[in-house]
Structure 1
């Protein structure tokens, strides 16, 4: 990389930039609530090292995501696309900026062919990989940097993320839900999120047999109806936990979980902590807004 891309993109008071020879650059970012709008000439990858109560991502003027974002969240920032990112709490993250050849070599070695596809899916890092990312962040900020150590962690994290966390969903329109059916199902689920939603209910809404619905739903969403509904319930629970004093037991009921323990089990599996732990942390770091 001839010139520093990150030096032009990242304000100097946001963090420390380090050049990784032959691979790219990396920046250890620490900043308060803020926003950034940019279009990069290089492909990038961002790892959140701390959770954020509300993060908004707008890609090419289209909102792609808004809401709670856990530590370990990964964002792939592709070159020549306009990105607008906003966050309302402190950010601690690692931003990788890849040399073109290194990036293409990674894609080739991991046989990733759909990197620019809208079907791209990115999983949150597991705790062990997040731990390594934090080790890299500490080393970059150290006054006694070890170049070999940084280069090794940079390569390991990049390869591991592209191998285990970034992939194209195996979905397409062939055999999937018709657009109107998909729209009707999403609306039904959102409108009845507090109730028990059965496969029989979804079968009636869609007009498909249960077996056909499961196949078509998975083909369209890349997951089963049950998995999709649990995700929507969890998103609703995050909204309640961060914007009200409603008890966890009542939140579970509003979100359609069968019990308080069911919400806790699903929440911890998805976010690595219980609803009460999440709420305590949120109260500590934010001024809660009550409906």
Structure 2
């Protein structure tokens, strides 16, 4: 079970009497440009303000809960239930008050990183893209990404930073398309990567499997934005960069289990997994067996092959 986390030091919270710290936080996972935290609060009120982070709150309430919100000269009161989304852009002051238990996922996104992606995607140079404040909205794709981040949070970040980077970029693109002042500006490139580009990036992945491969590094190799690189890679390969890297790590582990007597822990590290259990989880998911059982099966199969 994940341990209780302490609130982020970056978050300025006032009128926070009775508020509980997050149930779990990504603060210790090393995720870049995004902070994800799960909360379960008793009836209370809070003022949130952060100059450098955009705030997304995704309701996890299984039963409707009444929530009062105020931003600037606007206020809103409604029943919130699972999937309802609130957005407070960086620099805004959000007052929230609730009279029933409230369960929600809080996502903080670095405003400079969002602007960087917006500039890469829409070619507006130094123009700043502003997010539109939302008290209560619904967006199925953003909800799905939020739940995937929550699952990864509860799993202790086991899928790795490349997976979270991919989700972060996808989340930001959906925000820019649907909740920003330039929401219609992001176009989709078609056709996939060229053969040269594909070979270049897959060779890099093959050579760096033991390292912490990041989406930003792969995109820079080809001079593309992270979002367009991910999209074009999937068009060419049929799977996302994250899935391809994971697939290649498992394949390398299989080869090392077949051809060496290295301990499974050492093989895990050579293939870019963080631990024996990390390798075991993805190896079982891919092959249906454990690394040790796989090694035994290929070892016992060798004499039979020789007799034939």
Q: TM-score range by the shorter chain?
A: 0.3 to 0.5
Larger radius of gyration: 2
Please report the TM-score for the alignment, with normalisation by the length of structure 1. 0.46
Please report the TM-score for the alignment, with normalisation by the length of structure 2. 0.44
